[in-house]
A = this chain, B = another copy of it.
Amino acid sequence: MRAGPTQEEVRRHNLGTLLRYVHVHGATSRAELTNRLGLNRSTIGALTAELISVGLVSEAAPRETGRAGRPSLVVRPESGRVYAYALSIEVDRLRAARVGLGGRILEQYETERPPGMSADDAVQPLARFVRQMRAGVPDDARCVGSGLAVAGMVRRADGVVRLAPTIGWVEEPVGEALLTELGESGRLTLGNHADVCALAEHSRGAAVDCDNVIYLYGDVGVGAGIVAGGHRVTGHGGYSGEVGHMVVNPYGRPCSCGSRGCWETEIGEHALLRVAGRADRTGKDAVLEVVDAAMRGDSQAQHALRQVGDWLGFGVGNLVNIFNPEVVIFGGTLRDVYLGAAAQIRSRLNAVGLPACREHVRLRTPELGADAALIGAAELAFEHLLDDPLLS
């Protein structure tokens, strides 16, 4: 329980609110800001001036509006001058980007992550990407920090990857290793891959204006980023959303976690490829080939999609009963499974989900694709700035 803010705190809060607005919505006229933020014109003017003075936004006349009267000035985030480094460690890829305020990817790099690659070895190319980007940054640009998304369970406090079964890491101090490699003590915030994708899709993708969101991400494993009542569900230690280890089939197959019949044993890519008779294959392309084969009439591929789609709808039904969300987003390989088995998924969801819990739920594919992890990782870095734009 906390007392209300002082006037100075209110002013800083308002600065953050204005900056966050243009960060999320892009260039916005002063008139619209006045409307949206419920502040008067002179306050908006003063806040904008202050944000301009610290180099976070710029202001310009709008293009010809065709309407009479003096046009309202347009405020836009300084995407080219204020940026964060965004990094992502995924099962089969390593990605890095420089992301400007406003969520614009300014440049990006990626490489494969071969199976079995150690944490130390994965840190090298990421650090190299950052050094490359650093060399080309304009002199007057300002870095606000870095965000790193990892396809695993991350202890945010100290940047240790607790457990990343699909990557094969346990208790790896990835954050520390990366900072050491970069030779700096900069601000680095870690997050779980599905969590940051949810963050990105919630702020500027398929779940804009939704307060209750489940973002599912699948590859070998399955995880979720969850928003409830407009707030991110993170859990006590930051380990929530491990929906891939919700047991759905107590008589099912052993899972890498040591349990049996976890959801990811039924809907992860191994399950799809196994049922499709392609257990020797792996990866996103192999999943896409199954969907393509099913479209072309391959009955075993169709059977695999139906079976996996059925289990996918089953687990979504459970989550819908628990969260009563407005939208469920299918990311990673689950996107392709969803596109190939939407009717099956909806049918099982309708059987498992209670009518009241599922009546308004929309099923969606991501709008940001593979960029979601980078945009979301950058959001982790921008968060400090948006909370208090005057903090350096």
How many chain-A residues does the 8 Å CB contact rule pick out?
A: 71
- The distance from the CB of A236 to the nearest CB of chain B, in whole angstroms, is 5
Specify which chain B residues have a CB less than 8 angstroms from the CB of A296 in the assembled complex. Answer: none
- The residue of chain B having its C-beta at the shortest distance from the C-beta of A325 within the complex is B236
The CA of A355 and the CA of B355, in the complex, are separated in Å by: 34
- The answer, yes or no, to whether A70 is at the interface (CB within 8 Å) is no
- The answer, yes or no, to whether A133 is at the interface (CB within 8 Å) is no
The residues in A between 274 and 329 inclusive whose CB is less than 8 angstroms from any CB of B are 314, 317-319, 321-326
The CA of A211 and the CA of B318, in the complex, are separated in Å by: 23
The CA of A234 and the CA of B212, in the complex, are separated in Å by: 9
The residues in A between 233 and 254 inclusive whose CB is less than 8 angstroms from any CB of B are 233-243, 245-251
* Cβ-defined contact, B3 with A17, below 8 A: yes
* Cβ-defined contact, A17 with B1, below 8 A: yes
- The answer, yes or no, to whether A41 is at the interface (CB within 8 Å) is no
- The distance from the CB of A169 to the nearest CB of chain B, in whole angstroms, is 13
* Cβ-defined contact, B233 with A229, below 8 A: yes
* Cβ-defined contact, B354 with A247, below 8 A: no
- The answer, yes or no, to whether A4 is at the interface (CB within 8 Å) is yes
The residues in A between 242 and 275 inclusive whose CB is less than 8 angstroms from any CB of B are 242-243, 245-251, 257-259
- Stretch from A31-39, A94-102, A120-128, A373-381 at the B interface: A31-39
* Cβ-defined contact, A153 with B17, below 8 A: no
* Cβ-defined contact, A228 with B235, below 8 A: yes
- The answer, yes or no, to whether A2 is at the interface (CB within 8 Å) is yes
- The answer, yes or no, to whether A14 is at the interface (CB within 8 Å) is yes
* Cβ-defined contact, A211 with B233, below 8 A: no
The CA of A248 and the CA of B314, in the complex, are separated in Å by: 10
- Stretch from A5-13, A82-90, A363-371 at the B interface: A5-13
- The answer, yes or no, to whether A163 is at the interface (CB within 8 Å) is yes
* Cβ-defined contact, A233 with B4, below 8 A: no
- The answer, yes or no, to whether A21 is at the interface (CB within 8 Å) is yes
Picked from B2, B224, B357, B361, the residue with its CB within 8 Å of the CB of A38 is B2
- The distance from the CB of A61 to the nearest CB of chain B, in whole angstroms, is 25
Specify which chain B residues have a CB less than 8 angstroms from the CB of A231 in the assembled complex. Answer: 228-229, 231
- The distance from the CB of A7 to the nearest CB of chain B, in whole angstroms, is 7
Specify which chain B residues have a CB less than 8 angstroms from the CB of A245 in the assembled complex. Answer: 321, 352, 354
Interface CB pairs A-B, < 8 A, 17: A1-B24, A3-B39, A4-B9, A4-B10, A153-B356, A163-B354, A212-B235, A235-B357, A237-B356, A237-B357, A239-B354, A240-B357, A242-B354, A242-B357, A247-B317, A250-B314, A258-B351
